[in-house]
Amino acid sequence: MTLSKDVAAQGGLESVSKAERVASLPDVPTLAETGLVKYDADIFYGLVAPAKTPPAVMAQLIDMFTAAAKTPEAKAKFEQLGLFAADRCGADWGAYLNKQVADYARIARESNIKAD
């Protein structure tokens, strides 16, 4: 049982911050389902490589990490940690990261958040 499942079982997890429900917490609604619409915040982990990494090396790394993430052992560990593999690689992963940076920059700007 993951920490999230423990908290949910005790009634301490009222919603998840993703746009869709989390498979390992099927009874926990999303924030949108509780009335807070247009909210989708993921905590994500990923791997990046230097910009000039040769395409052949990138393809090999993508294949290796994708295969590793799909093993039963990795899936079990991800679930234990309350995580899941999203199958974003290469340009798709880069676009996702760029969107996250743009979204949080906009939020900081609109909220007048400044670094000290």
Token reading at 105: 């920059």
The one-letter amino acid at 27: D
Domain ranges of the chain: 1-41, 43-116
* Confidence at residue 2, expressed as pLDDT on a 0 to 100 scale: 44
pLDDT digits (tens, 9 = 90+) for 51-69: 899 999 999 999 999 999 9
| Interatomic CA distance for residues 7 and 55, integer angstroms | 43
| Interatomic CA distance for residues 45 and 56, integer angstroms | 23
For residues 15 and 33, the answer to whether their CB atoms sit within 8 Å is: yes
What does the pLDDT average to over 87-104?
88
pLDDT digits (tens, 9 = 90+) for 2-60: 445 555 556 666 777 777 787 777 888 888 888 877 766 777 888 889 989 999 999 99
